[in-house]
Amino acid sequence: MCELPNLPLLVERFDRILKERFSSFGLKEAPTKTDYEIIDVFKQVWGSTALGFCGIGGCMLTSAYTTVVYDNCSGVYGVFFGEKFAYAVWQPEKMFFDDLKEHCLVSVVQAGGRY
């Protein structure tokens, strides 16, 4: 059984990530915590204990919650697997929204070429 994510913690982490990378992302103004929305939280099954991250994990099916946080200020989506930041989607295309609707977001490695 996987634990529900701590949503305020994820918003805090996403806020910190955006502010740390603010200038390199080319955002015009830094977001504030009130600019965030939790778009979706859903359980996703992964082929290893590493979830959707690169790395060594035990070879067993593992469930974890995927959470998508949206910054209304910049239009950036943050994706978390469990309570760990996976990646940001800057200019989402239809494929991202289709995957989100199907509750099946791709791993960190696949996201670079897909979204």
**Residue 115, in any domain of the structure:** no
Distance, CA of 58 to CA of 45 (rounded, Å): 14
Strands 76-81 and 62-71: antiparallel
Count of structural domains within the chain: 1
For 25, counting Cβ atoms within 10 Å of its Cβ (0-12 exposed, 13-18 middle, 19+ buried), the class is middle
**Residue 42, in any domain of the structure:** yes
**Residue 64, in any domain of the structure:** yes
Distance, CA of 31 to CA of 71 (rounded, Å): 7
**Residue 114, in any domain of the structure:** no
**Residue 36, in any domain of the structure:** yes
**Residue 49, in any domain of the structure:** yes
**Residue 85, in any domain of the structure:** yes
pTM of the full structure: 0.87
CA 101, chain centre distance (Å)? 14
Give pLDDT tens digits along the chain (115 positions).
Answer: 688 999 999 999 998 888 887 666 555 666 566 689 999 999 998 888 788 887 666 667 789 999 999 999 888 999 999 999 999 998 899 999 999 999 999 999 999 878 7
Helix (H) or strand (E) holding 13: helix 7-20
pLDDT of residue 113: 76
**Residue 2, in any domain of the structure:** no
Helix (H) or strand (E) holding 61: none
User: In DSSP terms, which residues pair with 68 in a beta bridge?
Assistant: 40, 79
State which residues form the domain around 80.
7-108
